[in-house]
Structure 1
Amino acid sequence: MNNRLIIIGVVVLTALYIFFSSIYVVNEREQAIVLRFGEITNVRTEPGIYFKIPTDIVDSVQIIEDRLLRYDIANMRVQVSGNAFYQVDAFLTYRISDARLFRQRATGQLEVAEQRIGASLDSALRQVYALREFNAALSDQRPQMMQETRTLIRPELAEIGIDVVDVRILRTDLDEEVSATTFERMRAERLAEAALLRARGEEQAQSLRAIADRQAVEVVASATRDAEIIRGTGDAERNRLFAAAYGQDREFFEFYRSMEAYRNALKGTGTTMVLSPDSEFFRYFGSNGQLPEGNPNLAAPIQPSAAPITAPASTGPALDGLGIEEAVTPSLTLEDGSQLEPTVGTEVPAPVEAPPPTPAQ
């Protein structure tokens, strides 16, 4: 009885082993290669359950990826035209399109295939970058470069049953040595531009300052000239009025002048004066306070009429004849677009109107 159960168990286990070893499952992300004594007998690309000769001694199955795969390459140092270098990161996406060829040329192993992919991608990128100038790799030529790389690498990888779907360049940076050199060149260009702007600003500032200084001198000179003219005209009018008063009553005029001289000379400041009592200066000291007799025959009063105080009109600069030539007036454009220009010329002040004559009493 026990022997019969053992035999039945062995038979059942053998049957289960034969059954399960004779089937294999292919899902939607895989494809299967059926090998008989190492030779490819069939390739299954559709998902499902398939049968083969039981056990792996006669028929064996190798599962191959049927998904979209990716291979990355990082920090690749490539040289462009002109002996400049870039650091490049790139990747490609691929699919195993021919499982039979993939098994024959790459033993069906992704590690072996990726070694071939890496070498091909490296070579293609170097070839594409070598055809470009220094700035081309950073311009709008990048899509064209990726297309060229894909075109170069695709036939080579098709020989091992791989279809290259796309090639992408992730990063293109300057090499450390090139980056330092480029930074120094850009820094020098910015410093030169800043120095030029400062020099232009200083030039305009000096020109504006010179014109402002000249205008200040002209204004002061014109004002001084007009003041002297007005002062001289006032002195002339004062002398005219004194002469008119002297002509009316000479005796009173002399008395008035003597009183003014006493008041100005004898102010009580401790000044000592040594003069003869018979001096003309003390003419009115011996009058015992009596005023001089009035002149009954006074001349007709002279109505004071102030002479007009005017400054000569001049259209030329106040410093005409001093050797100062006309300067070109500079202008400065501000950030808001407006023009900053200095004032030019000197305006002569308007003449002072003469006071109206006073009517006789």
Structure 2
Amino acid sequence: MNKIIPVVIVLFLAIILADSSLYVVKETERAVKLRFGRLIESDVRPGLHVKLPLADDIRKFDGRVLTLDANPESFLTVQKKRLIVDSFAKWRIADVDTYYKATGGNEAQAMNRLAKRVNDGLRNEFGSRTLNEVVSGERDQLMQDIKDGLNERVRESLGVEIVDVRVKRIDLPPEVSNAVFRRMKAEREKEARELRSKGKEEAEKIRSSAEREKTIIEATAYSESEQLRGQGDAQASATYANAFSKDAEFYAFVRSLNAYRSSFSNKGDIMLVDPQSDFFKYLNDSKAGR
């Protein structure tokens, strides 16, 4: 038992010594080694490393691409048009030595200093371009120029690299936006009135054309119907005349029968006629006209 206790103590001290002497830098990290507060190794590579207990201090930083989401800022174009620009930047540590010396490894401080430089870059680029160029005409070239200009400055001063700069949104100031909205609304209302007026004009033309065609069709149809009616009447008259010329007495007899049938079709009808009139000629004398 007395022999086990020293072994346990030695193992315990060995574990403590290993824990304070060994450290790991991940692939996603960048690190520097300090000895009594003085920088002795500026870019520790990923992997397992050894340090002096109590003397060495390892400072680790995020080596991945980080996002700087800047607050919307007001910029002026070359035409003195004020715009509210909301942007963001992608960045990462390029020089660990410079980054540590410039920011002390404080990511928040690096973000603040980088945000100021991004805003300065945007202000310079917007100030040399027109409203149309920054909104649509040269957006890609604008972003590339801003990125190149920033990288020239921040690599040396902050030890970081700007991977990309993008503008999320460009707005006009509220007072200008309201005026623009009112002007756009007035223009759209004017355009709507013009379209309605043209529509009414076209509708009147179509309606007039339809009425004219209707009148023409009705007149043509009436003319054709009258012609057909006249032809029918003429043909009927010719048929009657032809029949009458063949047997006038039979024709008169048939017409009398039709007259009788029409006159006495309703049993409740009462008709007062002189019995000696021609209407009853065939009823009074079956040999009438013979």
TM-score of the two chains, using structure 1 as the length reference: 0.52
Amino acid at match of 1:289: D
**Contact 2:98/2:159 (<8 A) preserved:** no
Give the distance between the partners of 1:288 and 1:27, measured in 2 at CA: 142
Call closer, same or farther: CA 1:180–1:292 in 2, change over 3 Å.
Answer: same
**Contact 1:84/1:134 (<8 A) preserved:** no
Quick one: which of 97, 106, 124 aligns to 1:127? Answer: 124
**Contact 2:33/2:58 (<8 A) preserved:** yes
Q: Secondary structure at the match of 2:32?
A: strand
Q: Larger Rg: 1 or 2?
A: 1
Q: Secondary structure at the match of 2:157?
A: coil
Answer yes or no: is 1:32 the counterpart of 2:33.
yes
User: Once structures 1 and 2 are overlaid, which stretch shifts more, 211-220 or 190-199?
Assistant: 190-199
Q: Secondary structure at the match of 1:270?
A: coil
List per-residue Cα deviations over 1:150-185 (Å, max 9, x = no partner).
233334334435232423226224357366666666
Amino acid at match of 1:149: I
Report percent identity of matched pairs: 20
Q: Cα distance, 1:90 vs. partner?
A: 0.7
> What pairs with 1:16-95 in structure 2 (closer than 5 Å)?
27=25, 29-34=30-35, 42-47=40-45, 48-49=49-50, 63=59, 65=61, 67-68=63-64, 70=66, 72-81=68-77, 83-95=81-93
Give the distance between the partners of 2:97 and 2:263, measured in 1 at CA: 136
Q: Structure 1 unaligned runs (5+)?
A: 1-15, 295-361
Call closer, same or farther: CA 1:287–1:261 in 2, change over 3 Å.
Answer: closer
Quick one: which of 139, 142, 150 aligns to 2:147? Answer: 150
Answer yes or no: is 1:167 the counterpart of 2:164.
yes
Give the distance between the partners of 1:175 and 1:101, measured in 2 at CA: 36
**Contact 1:92/1:168 (<8 A) preserved:** yes
Equivalent residue number for residue 95 of structure 2: 97
Give the distance between the partners of 1:147 and 1:265, measured in 2 at CA: 105
Q: Secondary structure at the match of 1:145?
A: helix
Q: Structure 2 unaligned runs (5+)?
A: 1-13
Equivalent residue number for residue 223 of structure 1: 221
Call closer, same or farther: CA 1:261–1:176 in 2, change over 3 Å.
Answer: same
Q: Cα distance, 1:31 vs. partner?
A: 1.4
Amino acid at match of 1:94: R
Amino acid at match of 1:218: I
**Contact 1:96/1:163 (<8 A) preserved:** yes
**Contact 1:80/1:133 (<8 A) preserved:** no
Q: Which has the higher helix share?
A: 2
Give the distance between the partners of 1:276 and 1:145, measured in 2 at CA: 119
Q: Secondary structure at the match of 2:66?
A: strand
Quick one: which of 219, 233, 236 aligns to 1:235? Answer: 233
**Contact 1:89/1:171 (<8 A) preserved:** yes
**Contact 1:120/1:153 (<8 A) preserved:** yes
List per-residue Cα deviations over 1:35-83 (Å, max 9, x = no partner).
6xx8x674443454356xx977xxx867474835636233312335352
Q: Cα distance, 1:30 vs. partner?
A: 0.8
**Contact 1:80/1:132 (<8 A) preserved:** no
Q: Cα distance, 1:125 vs. partner?
A: 1.8
**Contact 2:150/2:162 (<8 A) preserved:** no
Give the distance between the partners of 1:283 and 1:94, measured in 2 at CA: 125
Give the distance between the partners of 1:55 and 1:262, measured in 2 at CA: 142
Amino acid at match of 1:49: V
Give the distance between the partners of 2:22 and 2:289, measured in 1 at CA: 160
> What pairs with 1:339-350 in structure 2 (closer than 5 Å)?
none
Call closer, same or farther: CA 1:260–1:219 in 2, change over 3 Å.
Answer: farther
